[in-house]
């Protein structure tokens, strides 16, 4: 017996993504309602402009979601929510904005996910495509809701989609030119039952992909199904990898040196890996023959990285201050510490802390023992981090990041490095990682470092 429904879509989650879904539904001529667990969502005034749409704010768990034709679920809402799970069991279609987008467009696209490096690789891939003369647009988890590309007529020859595991949960088919799962480290363990559960969500990026870009240095990167592959690696031979020539490390592309690593302006070995991944994606998308050109080399060489991602924000009396506020999980921070090169006997001081998200910080102990002079910890779960680091390095706990920097300043000397890479979410003391990074920059600007 065919399920009866009211013919409407229900948008679940009334944030920026939900709002972009509402504009898309209106453009398509679809009737819709919307709901949110918050009594007064920040964008409520904009929602009230959609005539005919019922808005359910507050305790939406009692809303009969099974009465709707389709649920359009925002990535911030878990599909395990009882009301959503009950609707799915009743046969209600559940989709997200990414699925609506790829079903609506007739242009090629590439997809990028991973625990760390997504935004940098997305930006690099889009920039390389633009250097090749293509009209490329980076959208998705990078900050531009994918459906805005349709409702705001942001046309492109090719779209570059950064996708989180949350977005992938509502994707069934992604017929991309190329897709990559860059890496996988423990993150969002407050939402996923296990690493395997998290990995399965990420693997959805390969559903329908024509080619997979595989990181040979990460066992989680390989797709779960047979598919054409293009590989990259920092550590072993691959389609895009490192080689030595005339005593220098080079990026190797198409079996020959392409650009010297020491010409790159970005910090850290993990960012070199991000460059390799972006080149491999463009190659896998069928444009590899065009990469051997001055415009692409110039773009890659001059790329300075994204704000809050291993970004050198100041050098004072020879001391480098690096903002990696986007380092919100253990894997990201591990890569940041491991990838930094401290010169001339300088010391590395590491600032970390915030909301742990159910993570285990003990994997950082070995790298701290080898590389970190002192860990300066702050925020809600600072004590947990200190306990799990054990005696790997000197660790001190502070009330705030600013307090930690003030205490550290008199001890700094030339060639030292101060790295903010929190390994935690920011929302105990900051609105988001951007605000945390900005606070670090402001505190550093006010800091006096004496020789």
Task: State the catalytic residues.
Answer: 118, 141, 188
What sign results for the dihedral spanned by CA atoms 198, 83, 7, 24? negative
Q: What number of helices (H) and strands (E) belong to the chain?
A: 15, 20
DSSP string for residues in 345-396: T--EEEEE-SB-TT---GGGHHHHHHH-SEEEEESTTHHHHHHHHTTSSEEE
> How far out from the chain centre does Cα 398 lie?
28
Other beta carbons within 10 angstroms of residue 282's beta carbon come to 30
Nearest CA to 306 among 334, 332, 331?
332
Task: Say if CB 187 and CB 113 are below 8 A apart.
Answer: no
- The Cα 71–Cα 62 span in angstroms is 15
Tabulate helix, strand, coil % of the chain (nearest 5). 35, 20, 45
- CB-hemisphere CA count at 13 Å for 33? 18
> How far out from the chain centre does Cα 369 lie?
28
What sign results for the dihedral spanned by CA atoms 251, 257, 259, 263? positive
How far, in Å, are 8, 168, 281, 319 from residue 105 at the CA level? 22, 18, 20, 49
Task: Say if CB 132 and CB 287 are below 8 A apart.
Answer: yes
Cβ-based neighbours of 28, under 8 Å, separated by 6 or more: none
DSSP string for residues in 314-334: EEETTEEEEE-TT--SHHHHH
What sign results for the dihedral spanned by CA atoms 435, 16, 201, 285? negative
Place of tokens 């006997």: 345
Nearest CA to 161 among 266, 171, 269?
171
Place of tokens 């110039």: 298
* Total residue count of the chain as it appears in this document: 451
- The Cα 354–Cα 269 span in angstroms is 25
């Amino acid at each position: 017996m065919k399920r009866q429904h009211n013919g409407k879509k229900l948008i679940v989650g009334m944030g920026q993504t939900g709002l972009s879904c509402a504009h898309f539904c209106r453009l398509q001529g679809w009737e819709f309602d919307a709901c949110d667990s918050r009594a007064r969502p920040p964008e409520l005034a904009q929602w009230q402009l959609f005539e005919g749409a019922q808005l359910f704010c507050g305790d939406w768990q009692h809303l009969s979601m099974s009465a709707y034709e389709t649920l359009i679920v925002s990535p911030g809402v878990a599909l395990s929510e009882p009301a959503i799970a009950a609707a799915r069991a009743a046969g209600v279609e559940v989709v997200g904005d990414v699925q609506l987008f790829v079903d609506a467009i007739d242009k090629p696209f590439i997809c990028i996910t991973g625990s760390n490096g997504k935004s940098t690789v997305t930006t690099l891939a889009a920039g390389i495509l633009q250097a090749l003369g293509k009209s490329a647009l980076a959208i998705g988890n990078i900050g531009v809701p994918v459906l805005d590309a349709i409702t705001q007529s942001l046309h492109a020859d090719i779209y570059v989609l950064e996708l989180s595991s949350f977005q992938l949960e509502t994707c069934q088919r992604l017929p991309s030119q190329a897709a990559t799962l860059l890496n996988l480290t423990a993150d969002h363990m407050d939402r996923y039952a296990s690493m395997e559960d998290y990995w399965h969500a990420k693997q959805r990026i390969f559903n329908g992909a024509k080619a997979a870009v595989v990181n040979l240095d990460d066992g989680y990167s390989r797709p779960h199904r047979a598919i054409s592959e293009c590989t990259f690696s920092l550590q072993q031979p691959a389609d895009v990898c490192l080689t030595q020539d005339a005593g220098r490390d080079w990026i190797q592309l198409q079996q020959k040196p392409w650009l010297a690593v020491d010409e790159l302006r970005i910090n850290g070995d993990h960012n070199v890996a991000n460059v390799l991944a972006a080149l491999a994606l463009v190659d896998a998308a069928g444009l590899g023959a065009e990469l051997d050109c001055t415009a692409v080399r110039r773009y890659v060489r001059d790329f300075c990285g994204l704000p809050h991602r291993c970004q050198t924000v100041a050098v004072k009396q020879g001391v480098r201050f690096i903002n990696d506020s986007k380092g919100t999980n253990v894997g990201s921070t591990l890569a940041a510490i491991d990838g930094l090169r401290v010169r001339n006997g300088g010391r590395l001081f590491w600032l970390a802390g915030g909301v742990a998200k159910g993570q285990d910080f003990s994997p950082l102990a070995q790298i701290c023992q080898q590389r970190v002079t002192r860990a300066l910890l702050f925020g809600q779960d600072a004590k947990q981090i200190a306990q799990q680091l054990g005696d790997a390095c000197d660790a001190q706990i502070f009330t705030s990041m600013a307090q930690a920097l003030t205490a550290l300043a008199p001890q700094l000397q030339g060639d030292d490095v101060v790295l903010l890479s929190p390994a935690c979410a920011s929302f105990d003391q900051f609105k988001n990682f951007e605000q945390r990074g900005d606070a670090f920059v402001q505190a550093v600007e006010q800091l006096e470092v004496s020789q």
